[in-house]
Each structure stands twice: as structure tokens, then as C-alpha cells.
Amino acid sequence: MINDVKTLDYLTVYIGETFRKHIGGKWYIDLKNKKNAYYSMLVLTGSKYRGELYKAPMTYATACINRKKGDYISTILRNCIEYQEKAR
């Protein structure tokens, strides 16, 4: 499935929109700083994000496929929500 670019794009957007619904943020793509680990990758970021400033749904999608766990992404989202709430 990772080789199916269109499906991976759809999965990335679905995961990203789910995260955005729960923790906020905006879509962002850095095309200037080639040293950025997320250079040219679609990520979510927001002024209220604490800890990791970028959420990279594509990395969650590919990791989820490789791990074959049913709760991998929901665990990440739950942890992000809890971390954001603690940081308030």
C-alpha cells in the first residue's frame, strides 16, 4: 500500500484532518529550509502545539501500515490530546 501514492495521500489527509479536528492546527509545508526533518512534507502545526511542533500524518500512516496494530494512530492522537491538555 505504501507504493500506492494516491491511497497514501488520502490516508495522510484523513489522519491529518482527524488530528486537526481534535487538537487544532493548520496544514503547512516547508519548502525553504532543506535541513528541516519535515522539508517538503505536509504537516500540521499550530501556535498551541506543545512538545513536537509538527505532526506529520504521512509518517503515522506509513508506520501504522508497517506495525499492523489496530490502535497505533489512536494512541498517538490520545497522547497528543493529553499532552495539550496538561500544557494549558
34 has pLDDT over 80: yes
32 has pLDDT over 60: yes
Q: So what's the pLDDT on residue 23? A: 92
Q: So what's the pLDDT on residue 88? A: 67
Residue 83 burial (C-beta neighbours within 10 Å; 0-12, 13-18, 19+): middle
Task: Output the pTM of the full model.
Answer: 0.85
Band (84; pLDDT cuts 50, 70, 90): confident
d(CA 19, CA 13): 10
d(CA 10, CA 63): 15
The residue to which cell 481534535 is assigned: 22
Q: So what's the pLDDT on residue 65? A: 80
**87 compared with 52, residue with greater pLDDT:** 52
Kindly tell me the sign of the dihedral angle through the C-alpha atoms of 37, 8, 72, 85: positive
pLDDT over 90, % of the chain = 66
β-pair partners for 45: 26, 54
d(CA 11, CA 46): 21
1 has pLDDT over 60: no
The residue to which cell 532543506 is assigned: 34
